[in-house]
Chain A
Amino acid sequence: MSCPGRAELLDVIHGVSDAAAPHIRECAACRKAYSAMMAATEALSRVGPDRPSGPCLTDEQLIRYGTRDIHPDLASQLEEHLASCAKCLEEVALIAEVREVELPEPPAELRARVLGGPRKSESGLLPRIATRRPTVRVRPPRRPAYGWVLAAAAVVLLAAVFLVIRGRERGEVKPEPPRSAGAPKREEPREEKKEEERRDEPRRVEPKREEKKEERITQDPRREEPKKEEPKREEPRKEEVVKKEEKPPQDTTRVEETKYRTVQIADIRGELHVRNERAAGRAEVARRDEVATGPRWKAAFSMGSDARVWMREGTLLRMEQTEAGDVAVTIERGEAYFEVRKRTAAFVVKGPHADAIVVGTVFTVRAKKTDTTLLVVEGQVRFKNAKGEVTVEKDQKSVATTASRPSTPVRTDVGAEVAWTTRGDIAKEPPRDPYIEFVAGTNPKLPGLVIVSPYSEWEVDSGRIARASSDVLECGLVLGHFHRDKKDRKIWLNIDRGTEGRVADDGSVGTAESTKRAREVYEEYLRNVRSAAGVHRQVPMIVHFRDHSEVVPGTGEELAVCEVAWTGFDRRTIKALKQLHEDLVKEHKPPYVLTLRFDELDEQYEFSNQKIKFKFTEGDAKSSGYMAAHVSKKSIAFFFNPSFGNRFEDFSVYAKIFAKMIEFLFRS
């Protein structure tokens, strides 16, 4: 047998195949090579990476990689870290393993034990087992309150209310005295007690209080026997007794109905979902209802006349209001900004790691898995968890985790942190100044894909279809709004070209010139595009949605054709795209069918019995402008005719059609 190759030697070392083993034993040269390879494999088996490259992967990244639900480009980026981090590598290996292996059965009694754990109510509802207070990140926004006055006495009032509530939670008969004579006190300790009892997230009891009550929530609930519904209270209060007599411990529904009222929210802006349904205008929110924004859009709403709330994308809240007017908002995840009018009843914001109780202030809460952050814009906010408390003042922030008390407040640029609340779609009043906004792409299968509508407000239709299509694809989106100069309304800024032109009285725009302000706006536009592209360092593909208004020569009739310019693709792909559009129209049957004409394929086409020369070739855009190679390697621009935009009902159908066309192009 001739000497085996290195791969065969390695197979013997790895135990994959021992075909070469007899020869190795007989051949001195092969034995030497074998020994050297053995030493090398031993080195590889002993020496790991020095330190992980970059931060560990998020759970989503780990899961997507481990389940192969990931674009190859994104996988490559994650592998940079995986190659150096044993922890993440083990976790993705585990995720991949458990998808396929046959798992052994656990002991039979374990199932009964686990099933017997959670308490079940007679109403069929699983009671909420509160083992720790939900923590709330309360970040006061920097935005000035809408004319609401924040009095210094509010701080004292806050303290009083806070202490009273804490007192009740510990089962005290009386609330603690207010810290200030000026602080209003709760009228009815009994009512407060009632309110506290109803809270199904009993607070941790501090050590010195523990002997006063045997509230089981202070212990690890996972070690407990099946629990009763309400936390045990030492003081037998009338309500509590009544509660016990009235119902089995687990029935909270009847208690809730008598003690809580629905929260009325109104003036809803942006995209808000209540009970998983899109809410518009106003809505009623019951205690267990989820109030959420999706992964891409923000929302805002008012709670009565007392408060206004802004929610960032991916935020989930629940809210409850007692008959006495106390409000508790629980942030399960995400970020919310609050403007709370000075009030006598408590307004509590609960997050995963700390709570904030306010009576009238402006703040923001950000809830993450690992910590809760509070930022104060106006006034002061008490920020507290079981480890301790701090008072956070204007322009300060504090961070709390499960393991630590809220951090000492530090000064921070709260304005930058809450700038997201000024977005046009959730602003209390429509913005007057031009701005550019982006939504980052979240679809791992389409990394770097961005749909842009630079003149979305001015050109109306393109913005809407761009937004609808990007929502279907979950890709990046950039929208430009009202691009005139802030002060001089007679200037039109071409935000994607770095030029500007003067606007004549008849509305026409003069010769485009490159100016400093136009170039600055262009740089801002490019930053938005890069941000929308997400993790991708280069933007592989931009889809432009724009409007045009052209007439047929001689007749003045609207040229109701959508011309499409493209670059970076080959003709065959564009031809296939054209055919795909026709097929998709047949499949989806939109009420109004766009007439698409493509650059190079339809250099001359017929419309209204006239031969029309293709106009929007975007030669300069391709060579040096918004379709140039330095901006995007592949690019396509749709120029919609105005009559398409007037048919709003078409957008959802055409959003699906465009989504499929764009996805086809992305993969070409």
Chain B
Amino acid sequence: MGDRDLIDALRRGRNEAWSELVDRYLKLVYHVVRKTLAAYARQVVDQDVEDLTNDLFQSLVEDGYRVLGTIGPPYDLKAWLAISARRRAIDFARRRRVSSISLDEGGDGDPAKAGLVEARPESDPRREAELRAAVGEAMRELNPRERVVVRLFYLQGKKYREISRITGINANSISPTLTRAVEKIQKSMKERNLT
């Protein structure tokens, strides 16, 4: 049964569809919640992971699986549940953070990470601003796809194979793209006497 048929079956109230949904995607939701909490929360408590996983599934049931009715093409439940689980876990981590954390926009502009990332070590603000300008200038010389590759590698720590899977770029093209970006940054940093 494809995802779309599964959604239809659930909304029609077929009991076996619920078991099918859980059997198919429990692992996925559990894994994503755990992985997200590991990245965003101070600590990962097994009970929290299980609670969040259960919460997500129970929220699907509400109002006759109403939320599933909002899923449109391409009706990819796996992907939809993955991002739903991630967002739920991030919300949880934000609510539960214990210590006061830097309130700047840290986290590379990701609002989910705002306040969750440790303040960076002391650095010269002027140098930081120059560095930011240098990186920005160099990145603007790349095309959007190349910028995506650079972000995925340097900011998200993805491997070549993963980047290839995400972007569809041939894995052999990734190294030259990164080299090009680094050269541009170097040039920009040199012009600003940041080397």
Shortest CB distance B19–A (Å) = 6
Contact of B18 among A11, A44, A118, A369 (CB under 8 A): A118
- Contact indicator per residue, chain A 65-103, by CB within 8 Å of chain B (1) or not (0): 011110000011001101111110111111111111001
Q: Which residues of B contact A80 (CB under 8 A)?
A: 144
A485 CB–B CB distance under 8 Å: no
Residues on A facing B (Cβ under 8 Å): 6-7, 10-11, 14, 16, 36-37, 39-41, 43-52, 59-60, 62-64, 66-69, 75-76, 79-80, 82-87, 89-100, 103-107, 110-111, 113-115, 117-118, 120-121, 124-126, 128-132, 134, 200-201, 221-222, 276, 288, 290, 295, 314, 316, 332-333, 352, 369, 442
Cα distance A126–B80 when bound, in Å? 22
Number of interface residues of B (CB under 8 A): 88
Contact of B15 among A44, A59, A106, A120 (CB under 8 A): A120
Contact (Cβ within 8 A) B72 A45 = no
Cα distance A90–B79 when bound, in Å? 13
Cα distance A389–B162 when bound, in Å? 49
Knowing A86-B155, A114-B22 touch, does A295 contact B109 (C-beta < 8 A)?
Answer: no
Contact (Cβ within 8 A) A222 B63 = no
Cα distance A369–B71 when bound, in Å? 10
Shortest CB distance B56–A (Å) = 9
Q: Which residues of A contact B50 (CB under 8 A)?
A: 106-107, 110, 113
B134 CB–A CB distance under 8 Å: yes
Q: Which residues of B contact A200 (CB under 8 A)?
A: 64
Contact (Cβ within 8 A) A288 B13 = yes
Cα distance A94–B77 when bound, in Å? 14
Q: Which residues of B contact A113 (CB under 8 A)?
A: 50, 54
Q: Which residues of A contact B59 (CB under 8 A)?
A: 222
Cα distance A117–B188 when bound, in Å? 57
Shortest CB distance A652–B (Å) = 22
- Contact indicator per residue, chain B 151-179, by CB within 8 Å of chain A (1) or not (0): 11111101010100111100000011011
Q: Which residues of B contact A92 (CB under 8 A)?
A: 166
Contact (Cβ within 8 A) B109 A86 = yes
Counted as pairs of residues, one from A and one from B, with CB atoms less than 8 Å apart, the total is 257
Q: Which residues of B contact A131 (CB under 8 A)?
A: 62-63
- A to B CB contacts below 8 Å, 12 in the list: A11-B175, A16-B175, A60-B74, A63-B80, A69-B74, A76-B144, A90-B156, A98-B78, A111-B23, A117-B61, A124-B13, A222-B59
Cα distance A276–B178 when bound, in Å? 50
B99 CB–A CB distance under 8 Å: no
Cα distance A636–B82 when bound, in Å? 43
Residues on B facing A (Cβ under 8 Å): 8, 10-15, 18-19, 22-23, 26-28, 30-32, 46, 50, 53-55, 57-59, 61-66, 69-74, 76, 78-80, 82-83, 86, 107-113, 120, 131-132, 134-136, 139, 144-145, 147-148, 150-156, 158, 160, 162, 165-168, 175-176, 178-179, 181-183, 185-186, 189, 194-195
Q: Which residues of A contact B66 (CB under 8 A)?
A: 134, 332, 352
Contact (Cβ within 8 A) A49 B27 = no
Cα distance A106–B150 when bound, in Å? 34
Contact of B76 among A10, A50, A67, A295 (CB under 8 A): A67
Cα distance A402–B62 when bound, in Å? 15
Q: Which residues of A contact B131 (CB under 8 A)?
A: 43, 46-47
Q: Which residues of A contact B183 (CB under 8 A)?
A: 6, 40
Q: Which residues of A contact B57 (CB under 8 A)?
A: 114, 117
Contact (Cβ within 8 A) B162 A103 = no
Cα distance A10–B183 when bound, in Å? 10
Contact (Cβ within 8 A) A126 B82 = no
Contact of B134 among A41, A43, A97, A295 (CB under 8 A): A43
Contact (Cβ within 8 A) A129 B62 = yes
Shortest CB distance A601–B (Å) = 37
Cα distance A59–B150 when bound, in Å? 23
Cα distance A203–B79 when bound, in Å? 32
Contact (Cβ within 8 A) A134 B63 = yes
Knowing A44-B135, A103-B27 touch, does A79 contact B165 (C-beta < 8 A)?
Answer: no
Cα distance A544–B118 when bound, in Å? 59
Shortest CB distance A527–B (Å) = 26
Shortest CB distance A554–B (Å) = 54
Residue of A nearest to B73 (CB): A60
Contact (Cβ within 8 A) A93 B72 = no
Contact of B72 among A96, A130, A314 (CB under 8 A): A314
Contact (Cβ within 8 A) B109 A52 = yes
Q: Which residues of A contact B148 (CB under 8 A)?
A: 79, 82-83, 89
Q: Which residues of A contact B15 (CB under 8 A)?
A: 120, 124-126
Shortest CB distance B118–A (Å) = 13
Shortest CB distance B14–A (Å) = 7
Contact (Cβ within 8 A) A94 B32 = yes
Choose among A60, A75, A106, A369 the residue with the greatest number of B CB atoms under 10 Å from its CB.
A106
Contact of A126 among B26, B61, B150, B152 (CB under 8 A): B61
Contact (Cβ within 8 A) A10 B70 = no
Contact of B182 among A41, A52, A110, A290 (CB under 8 A): A41
Cα distance A435–B137 when bound, in Å? 49
Shortest CB distance B70–A (Å) = 5
Contact of A76 among B11, B12, B145, B153 (CB under 8 A): B145
Cα distance A58–B4 when bound, in Å? 19
Q: Which residues of A contact B18 (CB under 8 A)?
A: 115, 118, 120, 126
Contact (Cβ within 8 A) A6 B69 = no
Q: Which residues of A contact B71 (CB under 8 A)?
A: 59
Q: Which residues of B contact A105 (CB under 8 A)?
A: 27
Contact (Cβ within 8 A) B152 A89 = yes
Contact (Cβ within 8 A) B32 A10 = no
Contact of A82 among B26, B32, B55, B144 (CB under 8 A): B144
Choose among A82, A110, A115 the residue with the greatest number of B CB atoms under 10 Å from its CB.
A110
Shortest CB distance B132–A (Å) = 5
Cα distance A333–B46 when bound, in Å? 36
Contact of B28 among A87, A98, A222 (CB under 8 A): A98
Cα distance A190–B142 when bound, in Å? 70
Shortest CB distance A76–B (Å) = 6
Cα distance A131–B62 when bound, in Å? 6
Q: Which residues of A contact B139 (CB under 8 A)?
A: 49, 83
Cα distance A473–B73 when bound, in Å? 14
